[in-house]
Amino acid sequence: MKKLLASLLVFFLLAGPSLAHKVNIFAWMEGDTVYTESKFSGGKMVRNGKIYIFDQSGKLLVEGMTNEEGEYSFKVPQKTALVISLDATMGHADTWTVTLDEIMEAMGDTPVGAAAEAPAVEPAKAEQPAVTETVQSAPAHVMQTATAHEIQIAMEKALDKKLKPITRMLVDAQEDKPKVSDILGGIGYIFGLAGLAAYLHYRRKIKELEEV
């Protein structure tokens, strides 16, 4: 019996810090698509978890299910902040909010907040129709502005691609496993409470004795 208990203890200590039940959803933008990844703390992916996408007022916009890898992606339904809610059944749930700024930025529009700070972008955009008109008259100039615009698009595409593994890593880092310090701290709190109860008990006892 003792051996069994000892081996169980070892098993628990080994398995201890690795897993627990909590569910996380993480979302990021690429172009006009929102990618989400859902996993239980400990690294198990949420399979067939229900995903609901709401706008800020709580109206349901999109509904879907995570695949075998816990992933789900959707095109931005409309330009509004999106609240992505995961229901992993049995009372496990989590939400992630994608702000309007993030969506605008990812889709190549000026973020609402940044619009006031960066009016310089506006003239650049206004120039574009003019570019097509002046194609014949000033080809050299057109080439320059056109390439500038193209470069920007190409850069964004390349960056999206290059940043993908880094976004992945961030998704993985996002998961917060219980730390050993937290576990020991929690046990400490419990024993501290017992100590507090003992202190209060003995204070009362001593008072009773003094009165007698």
Partner 1 sequence: MHISEGVLSGPVLVSGAVFALAGTAYGLQKLDFDKIPRAAVLSAGFFVASLVHVPIGLSSAHLILNGILGLLLGWAAFPAIAVALILQAILFQFGGITTLGVNTVIMAAPAVVCYLTLGKVVAKGGPMGMAGAFACGFFSVFLSGIIVALALYFTEENFFEAAAAVLGAHIVIMIVEGIFSVMCIEFLRKVQPGMLPGLSK
Residue pointed to by tokens 């008072």 = 207
Which of 60, 114, 183, 206 contacts partner 1 by CB under 8 A?
Answer: 183
Site for partner 1 in 43-62 (CB under 8 A): 44, 47
- Interface with partner 1 (CB under 8 A), residue from 30, 55, 94, 175: 94
Residue 90 interacting with partner 1 (CB under 8 A): yes
> Alpha-carbon distance 141 to 106, whole Å?
29
Does position 8 interact with partner 1 (CB under 8 A)? The reply is yes
- Please tell me whether residue 116 binds partner 1 under the rule CB under 8 A: no
Residue 58, number of CB atoms within 10 A of its CB = 7
Nearer to partner 1 by C-beta: 12 or 120?
Answer: 12
* Nearest CA among 56, 65, 71 for reference residue 167: 71
Asked if 34 contacts 27 with a C-beta cutoff of 8 angstroms, the reply is yes
For 63-93, b/e burial (b = at least 16 CB within 10 A) is eeebeeebebebebeeebebbbbbbbeeebe
Nearer to partner 1, 148 or 183 (CB): 183
The residue with tokens 């990618």 is: 35
Asked if residue 22 binds partner 1 (CB under 8 A), the reply is yes
Tell the smallest beta-carbon distance from residue 168 to partner 1 (Å): 23
Sites of contact with partner 1 (CB under 8 A): 1-2, 4-5, 8, 12, 15-23, 40, 42, 44, 47, 85, 87, 89-95, 176, 178, 182-183, 185-187, 189-191, 193-194, 197-198, 201
